[in-house]
Chain A
Amino acid sequence: MSAVTNLKVLAERPDRYVEGHRLCAGCAEPIIARQILMATEKPVVVSNATGCFEVSSSIYPFTSWNVPWIHSAFENAAATISGVEAAYLSLKRQGKITEDIRFVTFGGDGATYDIGFQAISGAIERGHHFMYICLNNEAYMNTGIQRSGATGRGAQTTTCPAGTCVPGKREFPKDLTKIIIAHDLPYAAQASPHNYKDMIEKSSKGFEANGPAFINVISPCPRGWRHESAKTIEISKLAVETCIWPLYEFERGTWRLTGESLRIAEGSRQKLPIQDWLKSQGRFGHLTKDKWKFVADEIQANVDVKWNELLKLCKH
């Protein structure tokens, strides 16, 4: 059962997430959410962790949500949806509900990598039928661009600024996608909003995983990453082309590259140098200084090591 990715067909479907939200101009999050919500025609119920996406789409008395939606707190969107899904199973078993409903959770990298990690790990371990989408803009953006476990090495944030002594974030980001895959769940993937066909196909698989699913999506942030609002999609593509955010999936034990990452592995597309990624965003601006050049080298080395690991896992 393959996903519909024909834009003309998708454009006829009712909008599940509508305009009027207060997200910044050029924010990737609404682009990602719209694509994902198009990946199933089944009714969906959404849970959302506290963050830019949640706050901006639900300012009382307005809402951008045309589907049932719940926000309860920051670290527990996965736990909240676990409860909703449990209610669904119970009420369905009692014949009180007959619809076939899909459950999806949105959380930022803060809610997913850090404060909400426990809840998502528990929800996946228990096998709830839901799909968790991490909107990864690599920092705690809603509270003012502070570093998270997902922030890239060398990136500037307000809690790891680039000063005279320290060149931005010292640590490499947590590889959360691999940690989630270590739970042996039915489906996990990395995606990017520039490749909507890949995103929708992966989301469709996630919706039909018949168990927990997880998609980690790179989500450029014009405000936090310091780039022009018009460049959001272009920059998300650069993340994939430089292999700092490869597109791949884990489907019932099988690792597979997709999209541009697959073509890079096969040799039909060029792997771009990490300098292209670093040059595109102001948060890495300090890395052009002579004394911080070694950081860019370390980042490239790390990208290469991880890319080679991924190639092995995907049997390339």
Chain B
Amino acid sequence: MRPVCDESKCTNCLICWIYCPDNSIIVKDGKRVGFKLTHCKGCGICANQCPVKCIKMVEEGV
């Protein structure tokens, strides 16, 4: 599983960043700009904790 973000809904609250166990949320100038997937384990915490539910977990290879 990997996280996919609907950027139009993201409020840059950075909640996903503080809760990611694997440092896989890229933050630049106070904004969530992407995911670094090399070490993302697909745990889904970011999707579960996002207050506006703009992150979805999708299956790899899809």
Contact = CB atoms under 8 A, between A and B. Distances in A.
Given A25-B43, A228-B44, A11 B27 contact: yes
Interface string B16-43: 0111111110010010000010110111
Contacts of A34: 18, 23
A66 to B, nearest CB: 11
Contacts of A18: 23
Interface in A1-57: 7-8, 10-11, 15, 18-21, 23-31, 34-35
Contacts, number: 72
Interface string A185-229: 000000001001000000000000000000000000010000011
- Identify the interface centre among B18, B30, B43, B48: most chain A CB within 10 Å of its CB: B18
Contact of B44 (A7, A19, A26): A26
B5 interface: no
A261 interface: no
Give the interface SS of chain B, mostly helix, strand, loop or mixed.
loop
B30 A11 contact: yes
Contact of B17 (A11, A28, A222, A232): A11
Contacts of A26: 21, 41, 43-45
A233 interface: yes
Contacts of A15: 23
Contact of A230 (B15, B17, B57): B57
A231 B14 contact: no
A234 interface: yes
A20 B14 contact: no
A233 B48 contact: yes
Nearest to B31: A8
B45 A230 contact: yes
Interface of B: 12-15, 17-24, 27, 30, 36, 38-39, 41-45, 47-49, 57
11 contacts: A7-B14, A7-B17, A19-B36, A19-B39, A26-B43, A26-B45, A27-B21, A30-B22, A230-B43, A230-B44, A234-B49
